[in-house]
Amino acid sequence: MTIPFEPILFNYQINIHLILEYLAFFIGFRYYLYLRKGSEDAISSMNRLSIILGAVIGALIGSRLVGLLENPMIELTQVNLIQLLNTKTIMGGLFGGLLGVELAKKIIGETHSSGDLFTFPIIVGIFIGRIGCFLSGINEFTYGKVTSFFMGMDLGDGLKRHPIALYELVFLVLLFYFLRYIQKNKNLASGLLFQYFMISYFSFRFFIEFLKPNIFFVVGLSSIQILCLICLLYYHKTIRNLFYYAR
C-alpha cells in the first residue's frame, strides 16, 4: 500500500479521509449513546440535546476559524477561498465545542457538568479520523518535517517525514486506557475526566506542533500552539490542583 492511499472503486477514486471522517462522527455518536444508556445522567434529555447542539455549532465555527488562522496571510483568490472554507481543525472544533457547550448551559440554566460522557467517544472519533489523515499522507496537513529519525516515512512526496498522525494514534490509545484506569480507580468529581482529556490532548498537540512545517507564527508559536496555551489557561485551576496533589 502506498501513501496517499487513494483506492479506486467502480472506476471512482475514493476519498478515504472523508469516509473515515464521517465514520468517526457516526461511531463516536453511537458510542456516546451507548455510554449514556448505561449511566445515570443527571442532565435531562432536553437539556442534553441543547448541549449537543451548542457543541456542534461551537465546533463548526471553531474548527473553521482556527483552520483559517493557521495561514491568515493566504492570497484570497477564488480557489484559495474555497480551500479556506473547507479547511478545519479538530483543535478549533474541540475548543469551540467547549465554548458552545458552556454558552448553551448558561442559556438553559444547566449547572451539572456535561463533558464526561463525551470524553471516550471524542477520543474514538479522533482516532478514526486520524487514520484517515495518516492514509492521506501529504494531502492533509498532518504530516511532519523532513527527518532522519528512524520513524520517518515517505508520505507521498518522496521525503522521509515525521508521521505526525501515527504518533497521535499511539498517544490516543495510551490516553484512552489511562483515562479508563483513573475513571475506574479514582473517585473523580463530575467533569474532571473531560478536563483531564482536554489538558492531556492539548498539551500533546502543543509539543507535537514543533514537528510540523508550519509557516505562520506569532511570537515563535503556531496558531494551534497559541490555542493550546489558551485552553490550558482556561483549565488553570485544574492544572494547579494536579500539581498540588502530585507533591
Residue 228 confidence (pLDDT):
96
- Residue extents of the structural domains in the chain: 8-42+112-246
String of DSSP letters for 65-90: HHHHHTSTT----HHHHHHHHH---H
> d(Cα 41, Cα 20) in Å, to the nearest integer?
29
Residue 84 confidence (pLDDT):
53
Residue 6 confidence (pLDDT):
78
Residue 134 confidence (pLDDT):
92
> d(Cα 205, Cα 224) in Å, to the nearest integer?
8
> d(Cα 197, Cα 122) in Å, to the nearest integer?
10
Residue 71 confidence (pLDDT):
65
Asked if residues 112 and 39 have their Cβ atoms less than 8 Å apart, the reply is no
pLDDT tens series, the chain, 247 aa: 688 887 777 788 888 888 999 999 999 999 999 998 877 777 888 888 899 899 999 998 888 888 777 766 555 555 555 555 556 788 999 999 999 999 999 999 988 887 889 999 999 999 999 999 999 988 888 889 999 999 999 998 889 999 999 999 999 999 999 999 999 988 888 889 999 999 999 999 999 999 998 877 788 898 899 999 999 999 999 999 888 766 6
What is this structure's pTM? Answer: 0.90
